[in-house]
Structure 1
Amino acid sequence: MFRQILLLFSLLFIVTISRAQTATADEVYDKYLDFNLARLQGEVEKATDLAEQLMKDTLKLKPHVRVNFYNSAAKLYEDGSQSVKAIELYERVVAAQPQYYVAHRALGYLYLKYIPDADKPLDIPSTNPDYIKAVKKSLPQLEKAQACDADDNTLTLIKTLYKNIGDVKGLTSLNERLKGLSKNCIDILSDE
C-alpha cells in the first residue's frame, strides 16, 4: 500500500513539474515580443538567447507570427555569422511564404558563402561538384529575388553563375523565367 501511495505522489509530482515547464501560447507570444524588442534595441546577445528559447515552442505561435519569427531570427543569425542556422530558418520562411523574395535573396547569397570566389567569372565552366551544387541551389533563390526586386549586382551574379557552370540554356531563358517569377511578390511579412 505504501508503494502505491508513493508511486501516486511521484506521478503527481512529475505531472505537476512537466506542466510547470510547458509554456502557454500567451507566454510564448510574450517571449516573441521580448525577442523583437531586444533585436530592435540592438541587444544581440539577449535577442539570440530569446531566439534559442523560442525555437522549442514555435508551434505555439500563430503561423504568420511563426514565419515572421523565423525570418527575424534568420536575419539575427546571418548578421552574427551563423550562416547554417540562418539558412535553416530562411528555408522555413520560403517554404511557408514562397513569394517573400527577401528570404530568397538571403538564401541565394548564403548558399554561395562558402564557395571561394563564387561570383568571379571563370575562363572555362567549372567542373567542381561542390561549386556546381552551390550554384544550382543558389540560382532559383537569386532569380526570385531579381524578378521581384531588380538589382544590377544580382543580375550580374546570376549571369556569371550560369556562365561559370556552362548552362547556356539557363542563361538564354533567364528573362522569360524572371517575367514569370515577378508575379505575386511579397516584400513585407505580416504578423496577422
Structure 2
Amino acid sequence: MLKKTLFIVIIVIAGKMANAQTADEVYDRYVDFNEAFLNANMEKAMTLGEQILPDTAKLKPGIRISFYNFMAQVYEGDHQSMNAIMYYNRVVAAQPNYYVAHRALGYLYIKDISGKPAKEIVVDAAYIGKIKKALPHLEKAQACDPDDQTLSLIKLLYRNIKDQHGIDTLPARLAQLKKNCEDILSTPTP
C-alpha cells in the first residue's frame, strides 16, 4: 500500500511539474501577450493572458502589475466587467496613485446605471452601494486629470444619493488627492 501511495504521489508531482511554466516561459508568454495587446489582437491577448494568469507570481512585481492592467483592459473590451474590476483593483492595490485605473474602476462600478434615463433609476441599497464604490475612484481620477464630464457625474451621483456634505467637501478632497498622482505604472523598488 505504501509503495502504491508513493507511486501515485510521484506521478501527481511529475504531472504538475510537466504542466507548470518556468519563470522564463511565463515571461516569454507575457512578451507575446504584450505584443498581441499592443497590436490590438484582443482575441490572442485574451488567450495568452488566460494562460499566464495561473502563474503570475512568476512575473516580477512591476511586470505583474502591468499585466494585470492590460488584462483588465482586455476584459473590459470583452464586456467582462467583473473580471476587469478584479484586475483593476489589483492594479490600484499595488499602485494606489495610478489614477487611470481609478477612472476605469469608477466608470465600471456604475456602468449598468450610468446610461439609464433618470426616471428609470431606482435609488435603493444596491444603487447606493455601487455609487459609494465608484465615487472614491472617480474623485481620484478627477483630482489627477480634471474633466468637466467626470466632475458633473460625481456631483450628480452625490445628489442622487442625497449627500450634500459629499458635494460641499469635494473641493477639499480633490485638493488632497491631487498631491499624489501617477499616470504611468511605476516599477516598485526592491
TM-score by length of 1: 0.88
State the SS of the aligned residue for 1:166: coil
Structure 2: tracts of 5 or more residues without a match? none
Distance in 2 (CA, whole Å) between partners of 1:177 and 1:43 is 39
Match of 2:75 in 1: 77
Match of 1:160 in 2: 156
Report the alpha carbon displacement of residue 16 of structure 1 after superposing the two structures with TM. Answer: 2.7
Question: What's the CA shift string for 1:40-87, capped at 9, x where partnerless?
Answer: 122211110111111111111111111110000001111111111100
Change (3 A) 1:138 1:182: same
Question: What's the CA shift string for 1:156-190, capped at 9, x where partnerless?
Answer: 10011111111011100000000000012110114
Match of 1:142 in 2: 138
2:126 maps to which of 116, 122, 130: 130
Report the alpha carbon displacement of residue 126 of structure 1 after superposing the two structures with TM. Answer: 6.5
Distance in 1 (CA, whole Å) between partners of 2:5 and 2:25 is 32
State the SS of the aligned residue for 1:114: helix
Query: Sequence identity of aligned pairs in percent?
Result: 53
Distance in 1 (CA, whole Å) between partners of 2:124 and 2:159 is 14
State the SS of the aligned residue for 1:94: helix
Match of 1:46 in 2: 44
Match of 1:151 in 2: 147
1:104 maps to which of 102, 105, 110: 102
| RMSD over aligned Cα atoms | 2.2
TM-score by length of 2: 0.89
Match of 2:87 in 1: 89
Task: Say how many residue pairs are matched.
Answer: 187
When Rg is computed on C-alpha atoms for both structures, the one with the higher figure is: 1
